[in-house]
Amino acid sequence: MKKQRSDSNPAPVMPALPEPLKDLKIKYTKVIVDHVSVFLFPPQADVDKAVEAARKAFELGSTWRTMDASERGRLLNKLADLVERDRLILATMETIDGGKLFSTAYLMDLGAGIKTLRYCAGWADKIHGRTVPMDGNFFTFTRHEPIGVCGQIIPWNFPLVMFIWKIAPALCCGNTVVVKPAEQTPLSALYMGSLIKEAGFPPGVVNIVPGFGPTAGAAISHHMDIDKVAFTGSTEVGKLIKEAAGKSNLKRVTLELGGKSPNIIFADADLDAAVEFAHIGLFYHQGQCCIAGSRIFVEEPIYDEFVRRSIERVKKYTLGDPLKPGVQQGPQIDKEQYKKILELIESGKKEGAKLECGGGPWGDKGYFIQPTVFSNVTDDMRIAKEEIFGPVQQIMKFKTIDEVIKRANNTTYGLAAAVFTKDIDKALTFAAALQAGTVWVNCYSALSAQCPFGGFKMSGNGREM
């Protein structure tokens, strides 16, 4: 039976994909404070200087504090324009620095980054307080005021997008920021520093300090003059950040941490779509996504067929230089991650999961790992419990609704989840029953600037966007 579709919504047209820049010159490699590149040492001194600048830019009566909210929006839109102008530079940079496929960087990362800047630009002058009919002879109103100096520590998997997800809402609300990009991928953030200056943001509003977590990152989370810290990264470091905030000045904390997200496939699902979404949901960006669907629960009757199709989907992969067209998978980000993933793959083999394909390194240069599929995975195995952050797909079997709800929720994580079914009752039940910040129905990884994002339990505190 052919599915009835509306005739009037054609598929969206992607912009044409240019070739990556052959000759990328890295101009910005220093700490940026007050629009000025500085180089201080040790990292604490850099952070202190950045905080001082951010604090000054936030003083009552400063340019930034007296700027119309709509003008903040205009600056964010101008920044979006500049990112669009330099889209090719940034995409090439992101690929070289992060090992990301160029097509993905150009189309998805840059696309999402630009849209997020424009979305937040639109919000700037729509942040409403309220008048409140309280008891007694009083006039009461709430004012939404910027928190102040926001420390923002971002990861290496989506360097530019994470940079923009942090600064856009913060600037839209009138805060000033001190950003520490990941040591593995500082370049696009630093380039953004130059665009922020070009767009016309006052000095001190955005300050960028490249460095390492235990030094620069810790300096931020412990700082007595930072009002809030926002961190995206591992749960392990998230705990350190929150603890440091509690020890120092009780700064506000938001965290976006790890996940081990369940993807539940029922026999009544559209199997083609399910296999495809489960595949992209895991293998996107070499598996280096906090929302990766890394526990795929498949209903018994379709289990074998699902596994067969998943293996086939992955077998034809071309690995290689992410700048080149026709490559489907690039390298893992660094040696540390590479070793960790291989170790977890070995644990899968040792603990009795069935290795269907892949299972080891690829090539003799760089940090490439073969796309790997494990079937017959049971819930107690390490690969079913620990976040792998690599191209390793786990496929488990289930029988009943109650059983899979329990198993899906049986984790300290709670970032995302998905269910594939055509039955509306099942879909709505799972939307409510799954302990996850985002639940996808018949899709995976659908994210957009308009949606709030964040985790339950140890996947995070608070919501972004």
Partner 1 sequence: ASPIPAPNPRPDIAYNKIFINNEWHDAVSKKTFPSINPATGEVICQVAEGAKADVDKAVKAAKAAFQLGSPWRRMDASQRGKLLNRLADLIERDRAYLAALETLDNGKPYAISYLVDLDMVVKCLRYFAGWSDKFHGKTIPLDGDFFCYTRLEPVGVCGQIIPWNFPLLMQAWKLGPALATGNVVVMKVAEQTPLSALYVASLIKEAGFPPGVVNIIPGYGPTAGAAIASHMDIDKVAFTGSTEVGHLIQKAAAESNLKRVTLELGGKSPNIIMSDADMDWAVDQAHFALFFNQGQCCCAGSRTYVQEDIYNEFVERSVEKAKARVVGNPFDFKTEQGPQVDEKQFKKILGYISTGQREGAKLLCGGNPAADRGYFIQPTVFGDVQDSMTIAREEVSAP
Catalytic positions, please? 256
Minimum distance between the CB of residue 1 and partner 1, rounded to whole angstroms?
21
Q: How far apart are the first and last CA of the chain?
A: 40
When the beta carbons of 7 and 135 are compared against partner 1, the nearer one is 135
Shortest CB 28 distance to partner 1, Å:
30
Contact flag: residue 117 with partner 1 (CB under 8 A): no
User: Which one among 4, 8, 9, 318 touches partner 1, defined by CB under 8 A?
Assistant: 9
247 contacts partner 1 (rule: CB under 8 A): yes
Q: Which of 68, 243, 300, 305 binds partner 1 (CB under 8 A)?
A: 243
Question: Which one of residues 154, 241, 307, 404 is an interface residue with partner 1 (CB under 8 A)?
Answer: 241
The yes or no reply on residue 403 touching partner 1 (CB under 8 A) is no
Contact 261, 414 (CB under 8 A): no
C-alpha 131/C-alpha 194 separation (Å) is 41
Q: Is 62 helix (H, G, I), strand (E, B) or coil?
A: coil
User: Does 412 interact with partner 1 (rule: CB under 8 A)?
Assistant: yes
Q: Does 214 bind partner 1 (CB under 8 A)?
A: no
Q: Is residue 58 within 8 Å of residue 149, measured between CB atoms?
A: yes
The C-alpha atoms of residue 108 and residue 113 are separated, in whole angstroms, by 8
> Cis peptide leading into 361, omega within 30 of 0?
no
DSSP state of 203: T
Helices 69-85, 87-98: crossing angle, 10 deg rounding:
70
433 interacts with partner 1 by CB under 8 A:
yes
| Smallest separation, CB 225 to partner 1 (Å) | 17
When the beta carbons of 312 and 403 are compared against partner 1, the nearer one is: 403
Instruction: Give least dist CB 443 to partner 1, A.
Output: 7
**Shortest Å distance, C-beta 410 to partner 1:** 13
Interface with partner 1 by CB under 8 A: which range of 32-40, 242-250, 270-278, 381-389? Answer: 242-250
The answer to whether 408 and 417 are in contact (CB under 8 A) is yes
Helices 69-85 and 110-123 sit at what angle, rounded to 10 degrees?
170
In which residue are the tokens 């992101």 written? 94
User: Measured from the CB of residue 91, what is the shortest distance to partner 1 in angstroms?
Assistant: 19
Q: How many residues bind partner 1 (CB under 8 A)?
A: 34
Closest C-alpha among 225, 116, 99 to residue 166: 116
Return the amino acid letter for 155: P
Q: Is 12 in the site for partner 1 (CB under 8 A)?
A: yes
Burial of 116 (C-beta count, 10 Å sphere; 0-12/13-18/19+): buried
For partner 1, the binding residues (CB under 8 A) are 9, 12, 115, 135, 235, 238-243, 245-247, 250, 253, 255, 257, 405, 412, 431-433, 443, 446, 448-452, 457-458, 460-461
